[in-house]
Amino acid sequence: MPNRFRTFIAVEVAKSVRERLVDLQDKLRAAAPEVKFVDSENLHLTLKFLGEVDETDLYDVCKAAQKAVAESIRFSVHVVGVGAFPNAQRPRVIWAGIGEGADELTFLHDLLEEEYRSQGYPREDRPFTPHLTLGRMRQPKPTPQLAATFEKLMDWECGMTHAREILIMSSHLSSSGPNYTIMGRGKLRPDPQAEI
């Protein structure tokens, strides 16, 4: 029986942005010690989650991602703001938001959804909202101190990163948390107007 891999498509963020995100996690940790924060090397922008994929299908999964974005242009992404899903009063997922680049990330998501739908993968059942997951609540509950911290950090600014490629990644859960492996890459085209 072939191995199965939890597989997703993502955009990597620059090291300087990851470092500022870790500083933000430290501020949030003081307000919500019950949050399980994402390790710095695992911070990324998820575009599409495929779920469990057979090892024998990984080549086709990588080719499909590359095909979907082959005509897409590189772009800049501004990481700004902080909040939570479903809301700040009862957070499940704590995130950093996206300003500039949100439309382009959504467009990539839509391209991937369409390509994978044609291969039999289901569409995601909730609207896509570009974000970086910073942490997850172990037990969702009212957290007034965290909500107050979100208010203070509403205009928090992380900086710019650049989307030059997508990564096809697998996730392996271990006792210390998820370990990610890059299974493939899909290059975005240089912008003929302004190289970034």
Q: Catalytic annotation on 109?
A: no
The pTM for the full model equals 0.92
2 CB-near residues (< 8 Å, 6+ apart): 54, 55, 56
Phi-psi label, residue 120: left if phi above 0, alpha if psi -120 to 50, beta otherwise: left
Q: Which residues pair with 3 in a beta bridge?
A: none
Q: Cα separations (Å) of 89 from 92, 94, 147, 153, 189?
A: 10, 11, 6, 15, 41
Tell me the three state secondary structure of residue 154.
coil
174 CB-near residues (< 8 Å, 6+ apart): none
Q: CATH for 4-187, among 3.90.1140.10, 3.40.50.2300, 3.90.25.10, 3.40.50.20?
A: 3.90.1140.10
Residue 4 phi/psi, 5-degree rounding, is -120, 145
Q: Which of 44, 78, 162, 172 is catalytic?
A: 44
Phi-psi label, residue 81: left if phi above 0, alpha if psi -120 to 50, beta otherwise: left
Q: Is 89 within 8 Å of 142 (Cβ atoms)?
A: yes
Q: Which of 109, 131, 162, 172 is catalytic?
A: 131
pLDDT by position in tens, the chain (length 196)? 678 999 999 999 999 999 999 999 998 998 888 899 999 999 999 999 999 999 999 999 999 999 999 999 999 999 999 999 998 888 999 999 999 999 999 999 999 999 999 999 999 888 999 999 999 998 877 788 888 998 888 889 999 999 999 999 999 877 777 789 999 999 999 988 765 4
- Residue 16: what pLDDT? 95
SS3 content of the chain, % helix, strand, coil (to 5): 30, 40, 30
